[in-house]
Amino acid sequence: AKADVTRAICFYELRMDEASRTRQTLARDLRRALELDQLELHYQVQTSVSTGEIRGFEVLLRWTHPERGHVPPSEFIPIAEENGLIMAIGEWVLRTACRQAASWDKPYKIAVNLSPVQFAHPDLASLVKNILTETGFDARRLELEITESTIIADKVRTLQTLRRIRELGVTIALDDFGVGYSSLDTLRSFPFDKIKLDRSFMSELEENPQAKAIVRAVLTLGKSLNIPVLAEGVETDDQLTILQTELCDEAQGFFLGRPKPVEQIFGLEGADSDA
């Protein structure tokens, strides 16, 4: 039995080794990808539920690895957060998105995701300000998306940073609301301009009455707090119809449009074949 345990431990260590080697390789390749300008931004449309109008676009990072092909952000963002590379990547995302959107014909908003690691940095507000100046992008067209894990790290400092960013005219959205560390205290204590309801509620909207009741309650909460609610992960016509009935403000999801390279987001409205 002792030998079995030893063998099991060795096997475990071997697998751990393998996993950490993969992470190290990915980290090195990611650094290179950033230097060689191999990262790309995709944009996913956000629309008004009542009128169908475009409200803006969420910016989503894409990495095509030379050998592995597409690596999902859920895989490489945690690695970048662990080794600090997320600071440089996050800055690149913000600068590139502002620069691209500054050249559009229409003044749509863009929503950029921020990692909790970026938020922990004391100079975040200055960085945002500098990038806005440098790119000439209108602060009112920029929204930053943060999750509740950002807030729990250091409440006092987060609140300070949020205030400084909002003073620039930039808006703040609370991402993935309803899952993870969700608590009403977050909404009570922090100044949000939008609540993004996590997409897990959409996938259960039609068959699970509990999910529907929660969606309804969040929409009511948003109305009483005067904060618009965006439903994430809308994949069907029926889901959108329910959101219309429930007076949800905005929606985003494959049914409305998949994330696309910047060259493809305009001109194809209504003729969207891949959604």
Task: State which H helix or E strand residue 96 sits in.
Answer: helix 86-102
Check residue 264 and report its DSSP letter: G
For 64, residues 6+ apart whose C-beta sits below 8 A from its C-beta are 38, 40, 70, 71
Strands 171-177 and 142-146: parallel
Interaction between residue 113 and Ca ion (CB under 5 A): yes
Contact 129, 160 (CB under 8 A): no
Binding site for ligand C2E (CB under 6 A): 44, 60-61, 72-74, 77, 90, 93, 113-115, 175-176, 199, 233-235, 253-254, 259
Please identify, using beta-carbon distances, which residue of 113 and 118 lies nearer to Ca ion. 113
Write a three-state SS string for 172-223: EEEEEECCCCCCHHHHHHCCCCEEEECCHHHHCCCCCHHHHHHHHHHHHHHH
77 binds, among Ca ion, ligand C2E, none (CB under 5 to 8 A by kind): ligand C2E
Q: Give the total of residues touching Ca ion (CB under 5 A).
A: 5
CB of 58 to Ca ion, least distance (A): 6
Q: What are phi and psi of 62, to 5 degrees?
A: -130, 140
Please identify, using beta-carbon distances, which residue of 29 and 198 lies nearer to Ca ion. 198
Contact 47, 251 (CB under 8 A): yes
Interaction between residue 250 and Ca ion (CB under 5 A): no
CB of 235 to ligand C2E, least distance (A): 4
Interaction between residue 175 and Ca ion (CB under 5 A): yes
Choose which of 145, 148, 249, 250 interacts with Ca ion (CB under 5 A).
145
Interaction between residue 176 and Ca ion (CB under 5 A): yes
For 244, residues 6+ apart whose C-beta sits below 8 A from its C-beta are 49, 50
Interaction between residue 46 and Ca ion (CB under 5 A): no
Check residue 141 and report its DSSP letter: G
229 binds, among ligand C2E, Ca ion, none (CB under 5 to 8 A by kind): none
Alpha helices in 103-183, H assignment, sequence order: 116-119, 124-135, 148-153, 155-167
Please identify, using beta-carbon distances, which residue of 29 and 61 lies nearer to Ca ion. 61
Please identify, using beta-carbon distances, which residue of 135 and 147 lies nearer to Ca ion. 147
Q: Which stretch binds Ca ion (CB under 5 A): 37-45, 143-151, 203-211, 220-228?
A: 143-151
Please identify, using beta-carbon distances, which residue of 190 and 255 lies nearer to ligand C2E. 255
CB of 57 to ligand C2E, least distance (A): 12
73 binds, among ligand C2E, Ca ion, none (CB under 5 to 8 A by kind): ligand C2E
Q: Which stretch binds Ca ion (CB under 5 A): 102-110, 140-148, 184-192, 257-265?
A: 140-148
Nearest CA among 275, 273, 224, 272 for reference residue 247:
224
Residues that bind Ca ion (CB under 5 A): 113, 145, 175-176, 232
